[in-house]
Structure 1
């Protein structure tokens, strides 16, 4: 052999058709995609009483839609309540459909080497918002939404890119649970309507 390292790279007997698998997957994609939803109706959007709050998932990787790169949900915050508090590496865009309130954001100093470390900065910033506004949440920012209206609910649409998950950097951490969260509760539309009522 012409290469001095041939004794090394010639070792191993395992065979796998990995490139062929890519070709097969590409060829099967049109049929597979034809069975995936291009229109998602409200009845197909699952509810979740999550640690982050009351969610109706619009797009999610688990929902078998044609969307490849974005997850989105509608979040409802009862009068005078708040979301959970969490942090994730991906940036997020939130559109305020209804209501008024504010966000608390705490930036983090991040170091990514062989390991991943983050440290919250001391300053917590407050941002006021109302219906029609867009809230931008930078990467790796601890954040929480607050409904400032004691009489009316807030509705938000959140969109986040899946790219960090695909790179193995989902890094989602829940710091504080939403007040409405109850483990194991199956949420219904009637329950949501009840929670959105002014209790004062």
Structure 2
């Protein structure tokens, strides 16, 4: 044969219908998607007292919705409190529904070779916000949301693109827990109302 590598590439007897599986998956998508929710009612949006804080998940890859590309949650920050402090590779935007406060951001120096390394810069940047604003968090930025009011809660809507996670880059690291976090605690409507209550 004309190709010198033929002694190598002709080896192997395994057969797999990998391309056919892609065709089958595409053909089955309409029926599969009919089973997935397009409307999510408040009672179907799970609460979580997470290390990042008090969350009500609106869209998540684990919620069997039609949404393919975005995860979103509402975050409640009680009066005078703050979110957890974390970093993730995906960029994030947050809409401020209620309250006022500020974000603390630290950029990271990143190096991607055979491995992935990052180092937090010393400078902490502060960004003030209030109801109606949109907060932008750049990729790989250490960030935290702070409620500046001693008597009013903050409610934020967070949206993050899933593309990084789907590409195997779910680089999420919690650096500080929210003050409200208690492992294993289950949220109830009454408890959430307590967090919302103005002092």
TM-score range relative to shorter protein = over 0.9
Task: Look up the match of 2:19.
Answer: 19
Are 1:82 and 2:82 an aligned pair? Answer: yes
CA distance in 1, matches of 2:77, 2:128: 15
Q: Can you give the 5+ residue segments of structure 1 that lack an aligned partner in the other structure? A: none
Task: Look up the match of 1:126.
Answer: 126
User: Shift of residue 100 of structure 1?
Assistant: 0.4
Deviation per CA, 1:135-160: give whole Å up to 9, x if none.
Answer: 00000000000001111100000000
Native 8 Å contact 2:95 2:133 kept in 1: yes
Moved over 6 A (4+): none
User: Which shows bigger deviation, 49-58 or 181-190?
Assistant: 181-190
CA distance in 2, matches of 1:80, 1:198: 10
Task: Look up the match of 1:137.
Answer: 137
CA distance in 1, matches of 2:156, 2:81: 14
Q: Secondary structure at the match of 1:63?
A: coil
Normalising to structure 1: TM-score of the pair? 0.97
Task: Look up the match of 1:163.
Answer: 163
Task: Look up the match of 1:70.
Answer: 70
Task: Look up the match of 2:93.
Answer: 93
User: Shift of residue 198 of structure 1?
Assistant: 3.8
Native 8 Å contact 2:164 2:170 kept in 1: yes
Q: Secondary structure at the match of 1:193?
A: helix
User: Shift of residue 197 of structure 1?
Assistant: 2.2
User: Shift of residue 94 of structure 1?
Assistant: 0.4
Q: Secondary structure at the match of 1:94?
A: strand
Task: Look up the match of 1:2.
Answer: 2
Q: Secondary structure at the match of 2:62?
A: helix
User: Shift of residue 170 of structure 1?
Assistant: 1.2
CA distance in 2, matches of 1:111, 1:95: 31
User: Shift of residue 195 of structure 1?
Assistant: 2.1
* Cα root mean square deviation, aligned: 0.8
Deviation per CA, 1:22-68: give whole Å up to 9, x if none.
Answer: 00000000000001111111111000000000000000000011110
Q: How does 1:36-47 map to 2 (within 5 A)?
A: 36-47=36-47
